[in-house]
Structures are given as structure tokens and as C-alpha cells.
Amino acid sequence: MEKELSDDLHFESKGFMDSVEVTDFPIRDHKVILVLRRRRWIDTRTGKSFSLPLQIDVTASGTRYSKEFGAFLKETYGDVPGDLPYA
């Protein structure tokens, strides 16, 4: 859909919405943070800005961890939220 908007003369890219950070599996003992951003668009005919809905479900419920990393931590450490090595 984004390609279609960028090719249309009536829509113009106007930067990004606020980003969301998701902690994922460490790589070689380095913390990994995924930064997700949605592009902001403006309709030049109406002057109204909008963004496309983000249709992904990445984080475990109630956390900022990826689902897989959250499941790994829960299996390894149990339900001890403040006592995690990559928190």
C-alpha cells in the first residue's frame, strides 16, 4: 500500500509517527531493540494527515518484549519481572 501512496500525486510523505521500541533476543550478548515507525502521509487535496494502521502483533501481552523473547524469559526465569538480565 505504501508504494501505491508514494506513486500517487495526491499523497505526500510527511515524516514518521512516534516510534515504538521492542526488546528482542540478544545477539552475541548484546541487547537488541527493534524500533518500529509508521510513516505519516498528507492528502494534498484536503490537507489532512493520516497514517496506515500497523497490522502486526509483535509484543507479548503487557510487555515491550517480542513474543518469542518473552516466552524464553518466562520459561528460563519464571515470573520475576525486575530480576531479568536484559530488562
Q: Domain spans of the chain?
A: 1-51+62-77
Average pLDDT over residues 5-33: 81
Q: What is the mean pLDDT of residues 7-32?
A: 82
**pLDDT tens digits for 42-74?**
888 999 988 877 666 777 677 777 788 778 877
Highest mean pLDDT, choosing among 12-16, 24-28, 54-58, 73-77:
12-16
C-alpha distances (whole Å) from 86 to each of 36, 57, 78 are 19, 21, 14
Amino acid (one-letter) located at 67 = K
Tell me the pairing of strands 11-16 and 20-27.
Answer: unpaired
Average pLDDT of every residue of the chain: 77
Q: What is the pLDDT of residue 86?
A: 54
